Amino acid sequence: MQRLDSHTALFGVIGDPVRHSKSPIMLNRAFGETGVNGAYAAFHVKPEQLAQAIAGVRGLGFKGLNVTIPHKIEVMAHLDEISEGAKAAGAVNTIVNDGGRLIGYNTDGIGYVRSLKEEAEPDLAGKTIVVLGAGGASRGILWALAQEGPKAILLANRTEAKAFEVASAFSPDYRISAIPWEELQAACASADVVINTTSVGMSPNVDAVPLDPSWLKPGSVASDLIYNPLKTAFLRQAEQLGCRIHGGLGMFIYQGAYAFEYWTGQPAPVAAMREAVMASFNQ
């Protein structure tokens, strides 16, 4: 246990719900490993309390904050500055208090792409990528994927109008386009990477799949943002059909690692952070 004193820098995560979050376990381990005098906690903030919560961050001098569902879009109105990546993504998941100015970043997308490249597909240039789901997490990932120079990014969502709305918000240079739901099977058949950004398959509904894994071509990458369970039904079935698979744990760890680096200016102890999260699954 770290010792807290009057010099301890305060950090946290806000969300509704937030009790399930493993961010406190991961970030407090990071502070301990690096000798940073910091403490991190989870705060349950309902939508109607968001403005008060951000005012509290200012008033109490919190050094940084993570933001999770459902506040990633709405929190932007309460900040002083939004980074280019967060603007493009239309969502903020990390706030840095820079001398009283609150600056919003999106580390979801860059964390996801770093994990995907390290664990499954090192080179995304020229690839065709299908992204399933058009929620807050999807936006950050679409922006970060586009920076890698893929051939095309195809976005599908059950509510088709939402997919077309999200895709149209990005520059045409990013090669992000929405497709009707009925074209998803054909798109998956020719895709190099298929990514589930929805919550379908998350605990406790662990038998659900967001799409039929048999639609994917063997050798392609099946990726899922969910990290509880560590291997979803979608990934299990895709692996059995000859696909390479990529789970959501790496994204979770790296989005936290980038946040740590923005807050402290130090390299994040990624191995220790991963170890702490993995250990928490066994408790």
Beta-strand relationship, 128-132 and 244-246 = unpaired
pLDDT, one tens digit per residue, over 49-58 is: 999 999 999 9
For the domain 109-247, what is the CATH superfamily, name and number?
NAD(P)-binding Rossmann-like Domain (3.40.50.720)
pTM of the model: 0.87
- Structural domain 9-106+251-281, CATH architecture: 3-Layer(aba) Sandwich (3.40)
C-alpha–C-alpha distance, residues 251 and 11, integer Å? 20
The one-digit pLDDT tens for each residue of the chain (283 residues) are: 568 999 999 999 999 988 888 999 999 999 999 999 999 999 999 999 999 999 999 999 999 999 988 899 999 999 999 998 899 888 899 999 999 999 999 999 999 999 999 999 999 999 999 999 998 778 889 999 999 999 999 999 999 999 999 999 999 999 999 999 999 999 999 999 999 999 899 888 899 999 999 999 999 999 999 988 899 999 999 999 999 999 999 999 999 999 999 999 999 999 999 999 999 987 7
Position 281 scores a pLDDT of: 84
Same fold, 9-106+251-281 and 109-247: yes
Q: Which residues are annotated binding-site positions for shikimate?
A: 21-23, 68, 93, 108, 227, 255
C-alpha–C-alpha distance, residues 222 and 196, integer Å? 8
Q: Which tokens sit at 67?
A: 């933001």
pLDDT, one tens digit per residue, over 56-88 is: 999 999 999 999 888 999 999 999 999 988 998
Q: Which tokens sit at 82?
A: 């939004």
| Enzyme catalytic residues | 72
Which one, of 141, 137, 146, 139, lies nearest residue 115 by Cα?
141
Burial of 70 (0-12, 13-18, 19+ CB in 10 A): middle
C-alpha–C-alpha distance, residues 133 and 107, integer Å? 18
Position 1 scores a pLDDT of: 56
C-alpha–C-alpha distance, residues 165 and 179, integer Å? 11
- Return the domain boundaries, the chain: 9-106+251-281, 109-247
Position 110 scores a pLDDT of: 93
Beta-strand relationship, 94-98 and 101-105 = antiparallel
Q: Which residues contact 182 (CB under 8 A, 6 or more apart)?
A: none
Q: Which residues are annotated binding-site positions for NADP(+)?
A: 84, 133-137, 157-162, 225, 248
| CA distances in angstroms from 195 to 5, 11, 64, 189, 248, listed in the order given | 44, 31, 30, 13, 10
Which one, of 47, 57, 87, 27, lies nearest residue 261 by Cα?
27
Q: Which residues are annotated binding-site positions?
A: 21-23, 68, 84, 93, 108, 133-137, 157-162, 225, 227, 248, 255
